[in-house]
Amino acid sequence: MPERAGLARLCQLNDSLPNESHRISTKLTKILVDRMETKNNPTGRLLDILVDVRSKADNQSARKVWASVFDCDPSNTGEILGSLADLIKLVAEAKDATVKFIPGDVTLFLAPFPKIESMLSRVHFDTVWQPSKAQLDDNTMSGLAFGNLALIPFYGKNALSEDLIAEFIAQLNELLQQCLASELPHELQNLFIKNLEALRHALMAYKISGARGLEAELDRAVGSLFRHHEEIKAASSDPHAKAYTTQVFDIISKLNDSVQFVQNAVLLAGPTANGIALLLNQLSS
């Protein structure tokens, strides 16, 4: 395909001009990034995040840079550290995908990772950003751009829009507020809050963890709710409680539909869908 041919030509050019590698500039990286409309593959998601962090001013503190990228409160060290942990997992996932899917010699595609790993292993929140940013040089970013281009054929091209993610987050926020104001038994309130909050976090971390991260959280949430289906069923004898649980299952179903769409799978065919069907059957019987 044209994209693969273009990639091969770029790799040949890079190999034939070893002394000119510094000329792979930010402009080239931007061209390669802008051409990719879908970043479902892990290297693409990593590239998007690092393009963002690289754009931050040298004199900002590392804490403010990472907080901005992850949409966290700069004072919330725990949340920033959690997102950095997810980012480190993404780096490992991107490396694994590179070795698994890209044919031939993958040296060029693996070359960016040592500097990225070095940067993430030496995070000092209250120092200026410039020393960390220096690790993300033009060659590192261009190598990631090549890797993103090479992995695209192996991943689906469907994607969740930022607007849809924001809409889901708003719906989960509303359900959390309704739960807190409800007269559900305390144990069920805690159950719904725990699972809705976890799904909300998975959506907020979508640019790092992608569809796999959201799918894993959906599977966990459905399993958790299914284990307590008797308590949920008993509480659903109250019309208000039943209406609320219906809303919860509805958004879980819609989230699952969205994940399956991204993964180019048959809608509602995976373990989460089966879990939802079993759960609804238990509650209606």
Q: What is the 3-state secondary structure (H, E, C) of the chain?
A: CHHHHHHHHHHHHHHHCHHHHHHCCHHHHHHHHHHCCCCCCHHHHHHHHHHHHHCCCCCCEHHHHHHHHHCCCCCCHHHHHHHHHHHHHHHHHHHHHHHHHCCCCCHHHHCCHHHHHHHHHCCCCCCECHHHHCCCCHHHHHHHHHHHHHHHHHCCCCCCCHHHHHHHHHHHHHHHHHHHHCCCCHHHHHHHHHHHHHHHHHHHCHHHHHHHHHHHHHHHHHHHHHHCHHHHHHHCCCHHHHHHHHHHHHHHHHHHHHHHHHCCCCCCCCHHHHHHHHHHHHHHC
Average pLDDT value for the chain: 84
* CB of 235 closer than 8 Å to CB of 246: no
Say what percent of the chain tops pLDDT 90.
Answer: 67
Residues 6+ apart with CB under 8 A from 240: 182, 183
Mean pLDDT across 71-99: 96
147 or 16, which is more confident: 147
* CB of 62 closer than 8 Å to CB of 127: yes
Look at residue 30 and tell me whether its pLDDT is greater than 70.
Answer: no
Tens-digit pLDDT profile for residues 213-232 = 999 999 999 999 989 989 99
pLDDT of residue 40: 85
Look at residue 118 and tell me whether its pLDDT is greater than 80.
Answer: yes
pLDDT of residue 39: 76
pLDDT of residue 158: 80
Mean pLDDT across 154-179: 91
Look at residue 280 and tell me whether its pLDDT is greater than 80.
Answer: no
Closest CA to 63 of 47, 79, 49: 79
Q: Is the pTM of this model over 0.75?
A: yes
Mean pLDDT across 206-214: 91
* CB of 129 closer than 8 Å to CB of 58: yes
Look at residue 11 and tell me whether its pLDDT is greater than 70.
Answer: no
* CB of 184 closer than 8 Å to CB of 239: no
A 10 A CB-CB count for 40 gives: 22
Mean pLDDT across 178-194: 96
Closest CA to 160 of 254, 79, 92, 62: 254
Where does the pLDDT of residue 266 fall: very low under 50, low under 70, confident under 90, or very high at 90 and above? Answer: very low
Look at residue 284 and tell me whether its pLDDT is greater than 60.
Answer: no
Where does the pLDDT of residue 14 fall: very low under 50, low under 70, confident under 90, or very high at 90 and above? Answer: very low
Where does the pLDDT of residue 15 fall: very low under 50, low under 70, confident under 90, or very high at 90 and above? Answer: very low
Mean pLDDT across 70-87: 95
Mean pLDDT across 106-122: 96
Mean pLDDT across 67-89: 95
